[in-house]
Amino acid sequence: MDQIRRSRLEELLREEISALIVSGEIKDPRVGSLISVSRVEANRDGSHAKVWVSCLDDEKAALESAVQGLESAAGFIQSQIGRKVRLRLTPILHFIPDLGIKEGFEMVGKIKDLLGQ
């Protein structure tokens, strides 16, 4: 799969997974509406995809439980994507917690404290 097709697939997966989370179709109570998909990375043949998930909640435990909920609902998410999107092969999804946004806010806060603002 060339780079352009792979990037289109990644963006499509990100949009579809985000729509499933926001619409509340994932019934797992660990997956709340404060969860967002920050990045998707598909492998070269499109059979697997890593999905980075971030949480607006301050607790790291909330993000970990949300990732576990998404992992348990991965089959349902894959089937919904397969129904909505015409793909020869629906990728197997692997969810990974993304702590980058939270760490970025913490770093900005530390810099502001150092500068006295």
Write the CATH number for 101: 3.30.300.20
Q: Between 104 and 108, name the one with better pLDDT.
A: 108
Phi-psi region at 66: left, alpha or beta (left = phi > 0; alpha = psi -120 to 50) = alpha
Residue 13 has a pLDDT of 94
The mean predicted confidence, pLDDT, of the chain is 88
Q: Specify which residues 49 forms β-bridges with.
A: 42, 93
Q: Residue 101 sits in which domain range?
A: 3-115
Query: Which position has the token pair 């926001």?
Result: 22
> What is the rounded end-to-end Cα distance, in angstroms, of the chain?
49
The one-character DSSP state at 27 is: -
Ordered strands of the 48-55 beta sheet: 35-42, 48-55, 92-97
100, pLDDT greater than 80: no
Residue 109 has a pLDDT of 86
Give the residue-averaged pLDDT of 11-22.
Answer: 93
Residue 113 has a pLDDT of 87
Residue 92 has a pLDDT of 94
Residue 69 has a pLDDT of 92
Count: domains in the chain: 1
Residue 14 has a pLDDT of 95
The one-character DSSP state at 90 is: P
Give the residue-averaged pLDDT of 39-49.
Answer: 92
Q: Which two tokens stand for residue 14?
A: 């990100």
Is-contact 96 71, C-beta < 8 A? no
Give the residue-averaged pLDDT of 26-32.
Answer: 86
Q: Specify which residues 97 forms β-bridges with.
A: 53
Residue 60 has a pLDDT of 77
